[in-house]
Amino acid sequence: SFLHSYMVSMFNISELYTVMRTTVRQNTLLLIADSFFGGVGVGDGIFAEIYDGYSAAGAYAADSGNLLLEITAELGVSGLIVFLAFLLLIFIKLFTSADRREGAKARVLAGAPAAGIIAVIFCGMTGYIWSDTMMFLGFCMILGLGASISEMRSSPSDALIVSDGRVIGREAKIHGHVYGSGQDASIDIKL
Q: What is the pLDDT of residues 91-150, one digit of tens each?
A: 888 888 777 777 777 778 778 888 888 888 888 887 777 777 888 888 888 888 888 877
pLDDT band at 163, cuts 50/70/90?
Answer: low
Task: State the amino acid at position 162 in one-letter form.
Answer: V
* DSSP codes joined into one string, the chain: -HHHHHHHHHT---HHHHHHHHHHHHHHHHHHHHTTTT-S--STTHHHHHHGGGS-TT---SS-SSHHHHHHHHHHHHHHHHHHHHHHHHHHHHHHHHHT--SHHHHHHHHHHHHHHHHHHHHHTSS-GGGSHHHHHHHHHHHHHHHHHHHS-SSGGG--EEETTEEEESEEEEEEEETTTTEEEEEEEE-
Q: Is the pLDDT of residue 180 over 80?
A: no
pLDDT at 83: 92
Provide the whole-model pTM.
Answer: 0.66
What pLDDT score does 68 carry?
86
The pLDDT assigned to 31 comes to 81
Chain mean pLDDT for the chain: 75
Segment 61-77, tens digit of pLDDT? 777 778 888 888 888 89
Is residue 77 within 8 Å of residue 38, measured between CB atoms?
Answer: no
* pLDDT top residue among 140 and 190: 140
